[in-house]
Amino acid sequence: MPEPSPAPLSFRPTLAARMILVTVLVALVSVLVTGLALLGLVRGAAEHQARVTLGRQADVAVEVGERGQRARPSRPGLRVVLARQGIELIVIRPGRAAPARADPADVAELAAGRPVSAAREVAGQRVLVEGRPDGAGGGVLLHQPAGVADQQAGGPRRRLAVAAALGLAGGALAGVVAARRLARPLQRAAAAAHRLSTGARDVRLDPEGPAEVAEVADALNRLTAALASSEGRQRQFLLSVSHELRTPLTAVRGYAEALADGVIASPDDVLRTGATMRAEAGRLERLVSDLLDLARLGADDFRVDLAPVDLAALVRTAGAVWRDRCGREGVELRVEVPDGALVVTTDATRVRQILDGLAENALRVTPSGAPIVLAAGWPDGSGAAFVEVRDGGPGLTPDDLSVAFEPGALHERYRGVRTVGTGVGLALVARLAARLGGRAVAGAAAEGGARFAVLLPASPDRHPLPRS
């Protein structure tokens, strides 16, 4: 069943939009929290100021009453002045019933000669109360609705609202600026990635912005360089493979045309021609088979049959076959395996394919009189078995060893310098080793040439080897 296609990117909010939204939300929350706290402070300060003012007016009312023989505070003029300010004047006279609006507790405080400063509920309304005794068991009480203090706080509240709005606008503006500065290098990185996907390899970005964003640009630059290098190696690899395929094909075609034209007619010449054509066809078949295996290794249908395998016996069998081939080239073949069994769970056919590939490469570069060694064993402390091929050839440099298993890398370096293959064999060895749960390694051999080994876990399911 085909996988559903991803949703179009155009329907997703951009990073800049999200940053602006988050910045605005943070600014809004900050403004609300700060505003609520300041509103409480403004209201408390306004009420405190209203109490102070009301207390002073109560002091004035008492002084006026004392100068007027204690009857003056009730005169209409003072009441009118206070009423215009929303203040109710209540006169408490000793020996007389207190007005109904006066709280008994406040009256008792005045009778005791103590001032009053409180907030009361009078007729369902919260009022501020300030009272001053007159020294004769009475005094005055001033009632002012608490809403007057709220009205006095209106100005500071409006200024606070303006400041909050300006802070919110500033936060939004900062979010826009920050989002644009952050999104711009990411947009450039996305455009560069699109160019890479279309085949452009001259993409280069200047790392800018925060460290994480600059790291994205740097990673794209490294990716561009890696892609260009990899594609260059692939082109060289294809050219090398084409050359290797063309050589046997040219030989087969040339001999076939000679046979068809009757140029080769004698029985001896026909036999030699047939042997040459068969050898070239075999070489062509091996190369094509290696290429097919290399291509199929990444597919799910590449078959690996795991079973207990005695690596020592397998290496001895391979040594018997390769001893004759090496002998015809004047190369000494040695087999180094432990005396007992060396059993691991793996695929015997694929391990033999690895050995044959490595032996083929070794024989190609090993001069007459030099040795080739097929070996197997248990490395100390590794928990894995190994099979390896060592040769007495020219060997490889440390830089060569780092790219030995990349297709065509060694062929590109040593083409025309010494006998080399296409690089398919070593690449196939590395991928076969990975499919078997192991890994391929390259190094220097004690015999003076190169050493290629494959480490195999005792059981791929239980003891996979780390990749390196």
- Model confidence at 75, pLDDT cuts 50, 70, 90, reads low
pLDDT of residue 168: 75
Q: Which residues pair with 454 in a beta bridge?
A: 387, 440
pLDDT of residue 315: 94
pLDDT of residue 400: 84
pLDDT of residue 411: 66
- Model confidence at 388, pLDDT cuts 50, 70, 90, reads very high
What is the mean predicted confidence (pLDDT) over 45-74? 71
Side-by-side strand order, sheet with 139-145: 88-92, 139-145, 125-133, 116-122
CA distances from 462 to 233, 331, 345, 387, 396 (A): 36, 40, 10, 20, 34
Question: For the segment 189-215, what is each residue's pLDDT rounded down to a tens digit?
Answer: 888 888 888 888 788 888 877 787 788
* pLDDT for 462 beyond 90: no
* pLDDT for 41 beyond 80: no
What is the mean predicted confidence (pLDDT) over 16-35? 76
161 vs 55, which has greater pLDDT? Answer: 55
What is the C-alpha separation between 79 and 266, in angstroms, rounded?
148
* pLDDT for 298 beyond 60: no
What is the C-alpha separation between 180 and 296, in angstroms, rounded?
47
What is the mean predicted confidence (pLDDT) over 71-95? 73
Asked if 382 and 356 count as a contact pair (C-beta separation under 8 A), the reply is: no
236 vs 436, which has greater pLDDT? Answer: 436
Copy the structure tokens of residue 362: 């070794």
What is the C-alpha separation between 274 and 342, in angstroms, rounded?
43
**Is the CATH code 1.10.287.130 the one for domain 232-296?**
yes
* pLDDT for 468 beyond 70: no
* pLDDT for 170 beyond 90: no
What is the C-alpha separation between 23 and 17, in angstroms, rounded?
10
pLDDT of residue 74: 47
* pLDDT for 114 beyond 60: yes
* pLDDT for 389 beyond 90: yes
Percent of the chain with pLDDT over 90: 13
What is the mean predicted confidence (pLDDT) over 371-393? 86
What is the C-alpha separation between 205 and 194, in angstroms, rounded?
13
Rounded to the nearest angstrom, the gap between the alpha carbon of residue 71 and the centroid of all alpha carbons in its chain is 86
pLDDT of residue 311: 94
Question: For the segment 314-368, what is each residue's pLDDT rounded down to a tens digit?
Answer: 999 999 889 888 998 999 999 999 988 889 999 998 898 889 889 988 998 899 9
What is the C-alpha separation between 322 and 167, in angstroms, rounded?
84
pLDDT of residue 67: 59
| Type of residue at 90 | I
205 vs 149, which has greater pLDDT? Answer: 205
pLDDT of residue 282: 77
Copy the structure tokens of residue 359: 């032996």
* pLDDT for 143 beyond 80: yes
Scanning the structure block, which residue is given the tokens 């003891």?
Answer: 463
What is the mean predicted confidence (pLDDT) over 124-130? 85
Which CATH architecture best describes the domain 307-457?
Answer: 2-Layer Sandwich (3.30)
Rg (CA), the chain: 49
**Is the CATH code 1.10.3470 the one for domain 16-156?**
no
Q: Which residue in 146, 260, 183, 236 sits closest to 23, CA to CA?
A: 183
What is the mean predicted confidence (pLDDT) over 175-183? 75
Average pLDDT, the chain: 79
Asked if 315 and 337 count as a contact pair (C-beta separation under 8 A), the reply is: yes
What is the mean predicted confidence (pLDDT) over 260-289? 80
Q: Which residue in 418, 419, 397, 420 sits closest to 410, CA to CA?
A: 420
Percent of the chain with pLDDT over 70: 80
Copy the structure tokens of residue 210: 């925060």
Q: Where are the domains of the chain?
A: 16-156, 232-296, 307-457
